[in-house]
Each structure stands twice: as C-alpha cells, then as structure tokens.
Structure 1
Amino acid sequence: MKKKVTLIIVAALVVFGLIPGIASRTAYSQDAPVEITFVHIFSDERDVRLETIQQIAANFMAEHPNVTVNLESNTDSYASIFEGALRAAEQGTGPDVVQIEDTLRQIAIDSQYFVKIGDYASEEQLATIPDIITPMRNYYNLDDEIWGLPWNASNPVMYYNPAMFEAAGLDPNTPPQTFDEITAACDAIMSAGIETLEGCINWPITSWLPEQWLSMQNALFINNDNGHSARATEALIDSPEMLRIMTWWKDLADKGYFVYSGSTEAYTSEGLLFISGKTAIHLSTSAGISNVLNYSQTLGGFDPGIAPLPKPDADATNGITPGGGSVWVMAGHSDAQTQAAVDFAFYLTSTENDMAWHKASGYFPIRQSSIDALTAEGWFDENPAYRIPLDQLLASEPDTANAGSVLGSAAQVRGAVVDGILSIIDGGQDPAEAMIAAKQRADQAIADYNSVIGD
C-alpha cells in the first residue's frame, strides 16, 4: 500500500494540479455552528487510545459548544488514511484534520493539499511551540515553519518475557543490549526446551528498525544530509552499516531464532506472537507499551520486561530518530472550519492532553511541561517503562543521522528496503546483493519523484 500512495500523490500532482492554502487567521463565530472531521488510525474499539481521543474531542466540544468534531477511523494503516484524505480532497470533501505518519511529511507538503498550521495559529498558540522538546522541534522543523504538529511520538523498544529468561538461565534484570548479546541470549533461550516457542525473537518487517540501527551507527539513510540540506537523490542502503544489520538479521533467521507473522508492517500480529508465548523477545514501537503490558498479563499470563532498543554494538551510541505521526490541517475548507481545525490540533497536543495521551498509550510526551508535570507527580517512578523511549530520544545528541530522513518518495524507498529484507530472510539471498538491488529500485523511485516535483 505504501508504494501505491506515492504513485497516487505524484499522479495527482500532475493530473489535478496544486491546491495551495491561503494563510490568514479568521476568528470563527462562537455562535455559528462549525463541523470538522478528524481522521486517525486508531480504529479498534477495544483500544484505550481510541477512548482517549474520544474523551479529548468531547472535552474540546464542551469548551467550544458551537464546534462539532467528527472522529473517523476505519483502518490502522497510515497509508490508507493518507490516500483516502487525498482522494476526498480531490472531490472537495477532504477531512479537516489528518493524522500523518512521519515519513509522509515531505509528500504532504509537496501535494499542497495542506495548509501551514503556523500561518493560522494565534500568538498564544505559537508561544507554546518552544515547549515542544528539541528533538521533536528539529524533526518537524518547527522553528522554521509549522506544517503539522507532532502528536503520537514513539521509538522502538525491546519487550521480553522474564520467565523465559529465567528458564534459560539468563538474568531478566540485565536484558541484552547489543546484537551480539541478543544472539547469545537466543542461543540460551532456544536451548532451554521451552515448549511454546516458535522462535527466540520477532519484530515487524519494516524499514523503520534498520533506520534506527543506522542512526545509532551515525550512518545516513539517504544522501544530502538525510534530505535536510537538499532533496535526496540517492538511497544509502547498501552501506557497510546497513550490511552489518542485514547480515546479523540473516544469521538470526538462518538459525531459526528470528520468526515473523508472515506479513510485513504487521505490528499487531507480531505483538500477538510475543504475547502468546511464541517468542521470548519482541522489538517494536513504544506506542504499544500500554497494550503490551495489559495483554501480556490478561492473555499471556506474564508481566513483560521492557528495555531500550539493542544497539549494533556498544559503540553505536549516536541515538535514534523520532517516529510516529503528527496532525495536519487540509486545505479547501471555510475559514471557520480551518480555524477550528487548527485550534483542535493545538488542543489535542496541549500539555494536559499530551499527558493523558502518554499515559494511555506509551507514546512519549512531546512537551517539556508535560515531562515536568509527570515527573513531579511521580508517574515515571511508578511506571519506569514509560520513561524508556523518552530517555532514548533525549540521549541522542542532534545530528543529521538521528534527525531522520526527509524524502518525498519515502514509501517507495522503504518498500524497496522491505523487499530486500524479504529476499534475505525468506529467499536466502546474500545481504550485499539484496541491498544493491534494493538500492537500484530505491534510487529509481527517488529519481521518478524528483522528476515530477522538481527542485
């Protein structure tokens, strides 16, 4: 699906032309009714994160009685949400607020189907931007221009089953921290005769984790300073640092230590493998901390351990990139709707709601005021696992590697990486050959996109 999104956007830019937003702040009447729609990925009625969004929207409407906020979500796919928003915008029926994955930022800007939130924000709202923690401001370039506001921010962590560690003679209080330590732990776990195991470790088949391990090694994903100094023209996915990752991954797969659900991008399915006792270690997003803690206890019958994402080696200390999504406001609506949408975006990401969102999910707080309040009330002392992804991010000294990549064709480039991964772990292809082929596909995708967009 992610490959398809890029093609749809590029085609739309060619066929339908550009739809620029006109920036001006217009206060909407407190009496005239205004209706806006917020489209997001949290579609499961059992998900506590959906309940939190519903409560935040209800509180906003209570404070703005003339504004109705409609919540829409029928998929947990960022790509489908984005594609649907674009198609609706082409028909003049686009939603007002859209949750957008971080990798779709550049293509959202290039599409010009979105307005700059900063151009509609009040001075009071703009004054809250410095409160957003530095890594998130840098990642979304908020000190220069404000397109979207960061919201559901996450990074990868390691979940593990302490009982299985003990059964294998491992100390659950000292979980593995490097690739070699993961392999050694899996040697012990797979030799322990644990009946439920299908493998030692699993994680979603995505480009996201390799990108984190590149960042830890101070290596880039794409050229031109990860796309920050100029549009990228080349994917750097055949680098020695990437080959190190893929070689280790293949070794785990060849030994039967790494298993996966059979589908790519399958965060929920991979989580269920771990929760059901099929693996002892699971690498995934911190966004699932609340759900993993809950369902490991209620469905799996164990209390999981949570630790930082293991590094390629002890010297790979350059840190990780932010992940997750942000909220954007679509063009093509009345001034009153646009203003209400901007106000809702700031409300959604306010200190109080940032704290509630963090507690309900595992997404780390994006505001320093939130962190200070959570610390003062003892939240992190009582729930230390929730502090792990935040500490991982704050320990990253900002540079071009951990600032993440800016790439209009990110979906296709990441798709090429995934194809390369599958050829390695399922097809047995040599990692170097697989990543050279993946690079060729990725570079072609970048060239095709740039030829349409221009400089």
Structure 2
Amino acid sequence: MPAVVASASLFLAACGGGSDNGSDGGDGGSSGGAPAADALDKAKGVTTVAFWHAMDGTNAEQLTKLVDEFNSANSGKIQVKATYAGKYDDAITKYKAAIQSKSTPDLIQVYDIGTRFMIDAKQTIPMQKFIDRDKLDVSDLQPNIAGYYSINDKLNSMPFNTSMPVLYYNKSLFKKAGLDPEKPPQDLAAIRAAAEKLSKTKGGPADYGFGAAIYGWLLEQFIATDGKEYCDQGNGRDGKATKVLFDQPESVEVVKWWQQMVKDGLAANTGRDTKAAQAAFKSGQLAINLESTGQLGGYSKAAKDGGWELGAANYPHIKAGTDGGPIIGGASLWINSANHEDVNQEAAWQFVKFLASPKSQAAWHIGTGYFPISKGALNEPADVSYRKENPLFDVAVKQLEGTKLSKATQGCLLGVMPQARKASEDGLESAINGTDAQEAMTKAADSLKGQISQYNSSVG
C-alpha cells in the first residue's frame, strides 16, 4: 500500500497546533461535547450531510443502496450526499487539504491505519460523546472491532467496513498430496510441513505449497497472533508510539521462515501486488494463501468454476500454543465538528447509527462480504441464509469471537502507520531477495525513526 506522505509543517497548518499530553483517550475532537439532541428539531428545511467515502465497484453500489434507504426514510429532514473521495490514501490526502481550506465533509470514511492522524487532527467529535449523551447501549458492537477504534474504552470513530485475515487452502490439492483436508496447518512449522508435500519441487501437485503477497498487514497479523505489540507505548494506546517493533525476534522469525520457504521452492514470491497472489491461488498454482475475508466470495467462485474445493481456517500463529489473535482491518466513520454546525453533526450521527444497525450491517455483509460490526446482524434472517450458503464465513466469525481483546490484538496506533506498513514490506521484500532477515528488518525499522519523531513533534 502506498505511503501517505505529510510533512510536519503541513500537519501543523492543518491541525492548528494544539497539545497532547497522553493518549487522547477518545477526546480527539475539537469541541467539548456532542451537540444538543434536539438540534435537528430546530432546523429549518432539509439538512445536508456531505459524506466522503472510499468505496468503489460493488461496495459503492451497496453503499448507495444504504444511503438511498436512509434518505427515503428521512425525506424532508436529512439528505446524505455521498461522494467518492478516491482510494483510502487519496481520500485522507484530500481530507488533509480540506482541513487547511476549512472545507471538510460532515462525515468521512477513513481506513484503520489513519486512526492516529484523525485523533491528532482534532477536527472530529468522538463517537463516545454521542453515545454518552444518548446513554446508548453499544453492547451490540463486536468488541474486537470496536476495540481497534477505542482508547481507554472510549470509541473515537464508528467501525463500518471490517475485514479479517484468514488462511485459505485448496482442499483438493491437500487430498492429492495425501494430506487431511480437514486439518489445515495452524502455525509456521505446520505450513512448511504441508508445503513439503504440496510443492512441485518435492513432487507435490501444486506449483508452490504456499504463497502470499508481500503485504505489511500480514506481518502485523503474525505479531498480534503471537501476543506481541507492533509499536511501543502499549501499541500506541498508553501514549504516542515512538518506535515500531517489527525488528524484534518474533517478526524476524516470520521473515526468516518466509525467506527460507521461497529459497527452498516451497513458497512463491508473488511480490507486493495482492492481486498477483490472489490470481495464483485461484488458478491452483498455490495450495495455501493468506488473505482477507473480503476475498472469500471471489475464491469461492474460482473454486466452483475450477472444480476444486476451498477451505478456510484461522490465521496461523508463529508457534503453536500462543493465545493471540489477528487484528481487524477496514475503515471507520468520523464526524467532523470543526467548522461544522451542530445540526450537521447531529444529522451525521443519525446516519452513522443507521449504518451501524443490525439490519444495515446484515445488508452490508451480504452485499460486500465485509464483516458485520453488529452482533445482531448475524441473527438477521437474511444474514443467516447468507452464511448457510457461504459456511466458510463462519470461520471468520468464530475467529473474531474467539480472539481475546488486548493491546496486541487492538493493533498499533501510529501517526505514520501507512509509512510503517510500507517500511515493513521493504524489509520483508529485501529479505526474500537475499538480505539477512534481521539486517533487513532493522534497517526498515530504523528508517521510520525520523518520521515518527517529526510527526510526534508536529502534534505536540
């Protein structure tokens, strides 16, 4: 994923300075509290909610359906105008420019790794302010999803589109290799053992036993499943992180393992393009692949069209016996308060509540494959039917519900997280191409020191 590059001077101009003495426990907004609950009642005419999002294709079509449904139900009162702001990186870059020109939208969808920036920008009002004002029961939210966007149990933004990584495997190739298709590998040693029987270089039925994109998100998952943190300061939740930890032994162990797998012909080097690894798995070149739950639909179709059976299992651990779990990915919704009228903030909140409802989340899940943030969505009749038709999705449900919430599984909050992800990819790619694993990851981590320091200085 390309990095988002923002200079300290740009950030200072955008945020207008401000100080931060701690972890911003949910108080990233520019105002002291939520607007009055009756703000909409006092409004004249229709209140427009400008909503920037980063969804395209099928996801955009489903989002449009939800927007239309909300607008119809609130005709004459609220009108949501959804605008595609580009892919995640483009959207947040556009948002930074809008802060300077005081033209931010009422509501914006921002990817998970933009969370620290959104808190530090002090342009938004935390969702917790609305929740507390309305004494809203949010027990329906999946705790491991809400946990990513929370600090000290205070929700900064509302999760929306959520995905999780899982291990996909080709059951048909497992059978051909003499492996039990009902016992997928669940740690690095087991993946290697399976790849020894699956790979062509060892006389197996697949070109390669394993293959996944050189994607920093996957390395983050391995660190979390080992119960370790990706950055210091309690994964950036006890205070602003000052360094990344992906040069520590557990991460280097993963990199060494991956490096040796490629060297031994047991894993394909598909590069950084996730689509390349996806295509190789769909075509049967790879027997095991690590990917998002968002690929379940495409992989299921490929298996059906190709005449092979797809399997899915929990994301693997580095070693057997650890009790960590993977981190959610995706994006969340932020309500802007700086330079926005109370009535617009309240209207945006009404739309956010609609999107987070069980009914909306079930429709979103079915229409896109994204994980529902609502526990109740899984009990909606339409969602129950969907999962009966797509039983492998329950693997992700059980993985999410079985993951213990901790600072490790909440994920790292870091102002330069996009750059950190790219740096980890630089290190992994360098190691796969022959550099010593420890050397490669140390160099990658060191490359971020100046950027992290500059960012933290720029926000106080």
| TM-score, scaled to structure 2 | 0.87
Q: Would you say the 8 A contact 2:225–2:316 is kept in 1? A: no
Aligned to 1:69: 80
Aligned partners of 2:175 and 2:61: how far apart in 1? 36
Aligned to 1:36: 49
Aligned to 1:424: 431
1:412 aligns with 2:423: no
1:293 aligns with 2:304: no
Alignment: residue pair count: 442
Aligned to 2:239: 230
1:391-437 CA-partner distances (Å, limit 9, x unpaired)? 212222222222211211212222221111111112x1010111111
Deviation, structure 1 residue 123: 5.0
What secondary structure does 1:401 align onto? helix
Alignment of 1:222-301 (within 5 A): 222-262=231-271, 264=272, 266-298=273-305, 300-301=306-307
1:124-166 CA-partner distances (Å, limit 9, x unpaired)? 5x51422212223332227743321011222111122222222
Aligned partners of 2:301 and 2:108: how far apart in 1? 28
Q: Which amino acid aligns with 1:445?
A: Q
In 2 relative to 1, CA 30–305 (structure 1 residues): closer, same or farther, beyond 3 Å?
Answer: farther
Aligned to 1:52: 62
Deviation, structure 1 residue 443: 2.6
Q: Would you say the 8 A contact 2:377–2:383 is kept in 1? A: no
In 2 relative to 1, CA 375–170 (structure 1 residues): closer, same or farther, beyond 3 Å?
Answer: farther
In 2 relative to 1, CA 276–30 (structure 1 residues): closer, same or farther, beyond 3 Å?
Answer: farther
In 2 relative to 1, CA 89–450 (structure 1 residues): closer, same or farther, beyond 3 Å?
Answer: closer
Aligned to 2:351: 344
Q: Would you say the 8 A contact 2:107–2:348 is kept in 1? A: yes
1:435 aligns with 2:441: yes
1:262-303 CA-partner distances (Å, limit 9, x unpaired)? 3x3x334432232233322221111222233234434x4544
Between 1:29-38 and 1:91-100, the stretch displaced more is: 29-38
Q: Which amino acid aligns with 2:147?
A: N
1:392 aligns with 2:405: no
Aligned to 1:316: 322
Aligned partners of 1:134 and 1:404: how far apart in 2? 13
Aligned to 1:165: 174
Deviation, structure 1 residue 248: 0.7
Q: Would you say the 8 A contact 2:15–2:99 is kept in 1? A: no
Deviation, structure 1 residue 236: 1.5
Match 2:111 to one of 72, 96, 101: 101
Alignment of 1:300-311 (within 5 A): 300-311=306-317
Deviation, structure 1 residue 107: 0.7
Aligned partners of 1:55 and 1:21: how far apart in 2? 32
Aligned to 2:150: 141
Alignment of 1:184-195 (within 5 A): 184-191=193-200
Alignment of 1:114-153 (within 5 A): 114-120=124-130, 123-124=133-134, 126-141=135-150, 144-153=153-162
Q: Would you say the 8 A contact 1:36–1:69 is kept in 2? A: yes
Aligned to 1:364: 371
**Ranges in structure 1 where 5+ consecutive residues have no aligned partner:** none
| TM-score, scaled to structure 1 | 0.88
Deviation, structure 1 residue 59: 0.8
CA RMSD of superposed structures (Å): 2.7
Aligned to 2:121: 111
Aligned partners of 2:456 and 2:152: how far apart in 1? 26
What secondary structure does 1:327 align onto? strand
1:91 aligns with 2:106: no
Aligned partners of 2:131 and 2:317: how far apart in 1? 40
In 2 relative to 1, CA 86–374 (structure 1 residues): closer, same or farther, beyond 3 Å?
Answer: farther
In 2 relative to 1, CA 433–143 (structure 1 residues): closer, same or farther, beyond 3 Å?
Answer: closer
Match 1:200 to one of 192, 195, 209: 209
What secondary structure does 1:200 align onto? strand
1:306-350 CA-partner distances (Å, limit 9, x unpaired)? 221122121122222222221112343333332222211111111
Aligned partners of 1:272 and 1:382: how far apart in 2? 23
Deviation, structure 1 residue 378: 6.3
**Ranges in structure 2 where 5+ consecutive residues have no aligned partner:** 18-28
Aligned partners of 1:121 and 1:189: how far apart in 2? 52
